[in-house]
Amino acid sequence: MAESYHFDTLQIHAGAEPDPATGARQVPIYQTTAFVFKDAAHAARLFNLEEVGYIYSRLTNPTVAALAARVAALEGGAGAIGCSSGHAAQIMALFPLMGPGRNIVVSTRLYGGTITQFGQSIRRFGWSARFVDFDDLAAIEAAIDDDTRALFCESIANPGGYISDLDALAKVADKAGVPLIVDNTSASPYLCRPIDHGATLVVHSATKYLTGNGTVTGGIVVDSGRFDWSASGKFPSLSEPEPAYHGLKFHAALGPMAFTFHSIAVGLRDLGMTMNPQGAHYTLMGIETLSLRMARHVENARKVAEWLEKDPRVDFVTYAGLPSSPYHDRVARICPRGAGALFTFAVKGGYDACVRLVDNLKLFSHVANLGDTRSLVIHSASTTHRQLSEAQQVAAGAAPNLVRVSIGIEDARDIIADLDQALAAAQA
């Protein structure tokens, strides 16, 4: 769909036309494993990537393809792929870029599961990650070497709500000749479009704000289509004959769609991190109200953060939408529609007080998730970031005295009242 349409129109219409067979207005759930070829020549064209179509749902499926097209339109990308989870999307983003001995330079301010995935699990592929404070551009440049294949950060970092300076990071990545990969889960494309700030790839956990109601596990990778994969020789899977796909040179043959088609034809084919069509359908329906939900999330988060900052039982609040935040000046430039709805606050009394607060909340749901319509809470140091050392927890913005909240779209007065009574119990 044309980029001339505005966001609120694209979130409803992009990637979807009335079903040609039935006229169905909503995208159908194509719950099928395989698709019938018209004839042998048609099958050959599909397998040669000479014609776009459907072969097998591990690769592509019409429901998942509609979702991918919609998110690509909202992010301003050339193409996208649907994956089984946000973590799957991260591996899928790296897969065409990496090889044994290669590394990525990543922010210290990341979701705890991502820190473990990059710090531990990817070593089994022979890859490695170098963790750097992404506010220190000189440190990032010093960490990059000839084996570096990408920079990785979150637009709004989980759990602290810190906003990354994507424009500055993109300049560092461009100078090094590597892509900037941005996890845009906490912001959603409504609050931030990383490609507009120079990002090459954008990843999402569709589980969070895109779906918005806690019913789906899924992921998306969006490609800007702007990176020259053939410029440096660093990305042979895209620039050189691909032995896993009968010697096709993806970038030469497919140009801006090289990464997307490689991820389908090789990545999904061999890794099998496929999104299911029912999950894609739920996410499509969720995205139809994304702008409405995000505006309410941001409005409520601002009210709650302002109230918490004034409360004597709270040491500090990390919400970037507050004038006191060191990241406040980035909001208008990086997230012009608001600083999101995810942040932490420090409870006086430390670790034990945080646990008592979580145990006494009634409206909030205590879950390992974010981006739901409901307000959610978790004590990161004892859960999502438990596997990290205390020093790593502090660096990630998940210190033992912090509670993470994902502010929902309920009435803000009820959210504040629940926090008020729980704080009283925490201090008793």
From the centroid of its chain, how far is CA 406? 15
Packing angle, helices 412-427 and 290-310, rounded to 10: 40
Is 191 a domain residue? yes
Q: Are residues 129 and 72 in the same domain?
A: yes
Residue 131 CA, chain-centre distance (Å), reads 18
Q: What is the pLDDT of residue 390?
A: 84
Angle at 75 between CA 169 and CA 47, to 5 degrees: 105
CATH number at residue 345: 3.90.1150.10
Is the same domain home to 378 and 267?
A: no
- The whole-number pLDDT of residue 194 equals 98
Whether residue 58 is found in the same domain as residue 143: yes
Judge contact between 218 and 369, C-beta under 8 A: no
User: For residue 113, what are the CA distances in angstroms to 157, 159, 280, 329, 384?
Assistant: 13, 11, 23, 28, 7
Q: Do 261 and 369 contact (CB within 8 A), yes or no?
A: no
Q: Same domain for 407 and 281?
A: no
Distance of alpha carbon 190 from alpha carbon 192, whole angstroms: 6
Task: Report the number of distinct structural domains present in the chain.
Answer: 2
Give the C-alpha separation, 376 to 297, whole Å. 12
Burial (CB count <10 Å: 0-12, 13-18, 19+), residue 322 = buried
CATH number at residue 272: 3.40.640.10
**Mind listing the pLDDT tens digit of every residue in the chain (428 residues)?**
555 899 999 999 999 988 888 899 999 999 999 999 999 999 999 998 999 999 999 999 999 999 999 999 999 999 999 999 999 999 999 999 999 999 999 999 999 889 999 999 999 999 999 999 999 999 999 999 999 999 999 999 998 899 999 999 999 999 999 999 999 999 999 999 999 999 999 999 999 999 999 999 999 999 999 999 999 999 999 999 999 888 999 999 999 999 999 999 999 999 999 999 999 999 999 999 999 999 999 999 999 999 999 999 999 999 999 999 999 999 999 999 999 999 999 999 999 999 999 999 999 999 999 999 999 999 988 887 777 788 888 877 888 999 999 999 999 999 999 999 999 999 88
Same domain, 278 and 296: no
2 is a domain residue: no
Residue 28: domain span: 7-286
Residue 263 in 3-state DSSP?
Answer: helix
Cβ pair 147, 103 in contact under 8 A:
yes
Strand order across the 365-366 sheet:
314-317, 342-347, 402-406, 376-378, 365-366
- Pair 125, 252 in one domain: yes
Q: Facing residues of 345 across strands?
A: 317, 403
Residue 87 lies in a domain: yes
Same domain for 159 and 225: yes
In a domain, 1, yes or no: no
Same domain? 187 vs 333: no
